[in-house]
């Protein structure tokens, strides 16, 4: 038996009261499968976004940005913050989506919906931001350079991994 404090009447989701425990289990299974699929496939737009708006990609596409970045350290810093800012903006879609999934899952109170939403959002952050960002920002570029010059592998990795840490610093500052 599981005992829990009853939620306040204003926090109860009355539309979910009629659901049986087996319906809730089924809905939880579907919600978890949907969340896992979303987390797994959300890496695709995040990776594409990172490749398109990284500071090196922006500088490579625009000679004007390259000149401004070389001439001004402030502009170079602003240019480096574009990538994490775009990712943060894209992520703002997820909390409302996870809240909707929690309501459809059949939770009885808004507190339970928020707790389930935060769990899913935390898993999203761990998988997509930290793991995918680290791989996407260093792997593709570094793998190409290592393929061109295999003897410089450790030097290239030693150069590229600290650049990833600056992404995380900008990301945390924007958050």
Question: How much is the pLDDT for 97?
Answer: 93
Give burial (CB, 10 Å; 0-12/13-18/19+) of 122: exposed
Question: How much is the pLDDT for 120?
Answer: 92
Candidates 112, 108, 98; CA nearest to 19 is 108
Contact 163, 138 (CB under 8 A): yes
Report, as an integer, the average pLDDT of 5-14.
87
Of the chain, the end-to-end C-alpha distance in Å amounts to 40
pLDDT digits (tens, 9 = 90+) for 99-112: 999 999 999 899 99
Which two tokens mark 35? 């969340």
3-class SS at 17? coil
Question: How much is the pLDDT for 161?
Answer: 65
Contact 86, 115 (CB under 8 A): no
Report, as an integer, the average pLDDT of 48-72.
83
At residue 22 the predicted structure's pLDDT band, cuts being 50, 70 and 90, is very high
User: Residue 109: which region, alpha, beta or left (left: phi > 0; alpha: psi -120 to 50)?
Assistant: beta
Question: How much is the pLDDT for 116?
Answer: 94
Which two tokens mark 88? 């943060």
pLDDT digits (tens, 9 = 90+) for 76-133: 888 888 888 888 888 888 899 999 999 999 998 999 999 999 999 888 877 776 666 6
Res. 13: pLDDT tops 80: yes
Query: What global pTM score does this model have?
Result: 0.63
Res. 64: pLDDT tops 70: yes
Candidates 48, 35, 43, 37; CA nearest to 130 is 43
Question: How much is the pLDDT for 29?
Answer: 96
Question: How much is the pLDDT for 54?
Answer: 81
φ and ψ at residue 3, rounded to 5 degrees: -105, 135
Q: What share of the chain is helix, strand, coil (3-state, %, to 5)?
A: 85, 0, 15
């Amino acid at each position: 038996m599981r005992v829990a404090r009853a939620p306040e009447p204003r926090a109860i989701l009355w539309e979910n009261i009629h659901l049986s425990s087996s319906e809730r289990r089924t809905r939880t299974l579907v919600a978890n499968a949907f969340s896992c699929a979303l987390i797994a496939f959300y890496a695709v737009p995040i990776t594409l976004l990172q490749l398109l708006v990284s500071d090196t990609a922006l500088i490579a596409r625009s000679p004007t940005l390259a000149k401004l970045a070389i001439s001004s350290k402030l502009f170079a810093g602003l240019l480096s913050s574009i990538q994490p800012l775009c990712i943060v903006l894209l992520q703002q879609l997820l909390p409302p989506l996870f809240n909707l999934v929690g309501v459809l899952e059949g939770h009885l109170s808004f507190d339970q919906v928020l707790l389930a939403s935060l769990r899913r959002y935390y898993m999203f952050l761990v998988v997509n931001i930290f793991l995918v960002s680290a791989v996407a920002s260093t792997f593709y570029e570094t793998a190409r350079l290592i393929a061109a010059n295999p003897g410089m592998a450790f030097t290239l990795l030693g150069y590229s991994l600290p650049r990833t840490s600056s992404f995380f610093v900008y990301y945390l500052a924007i958050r």
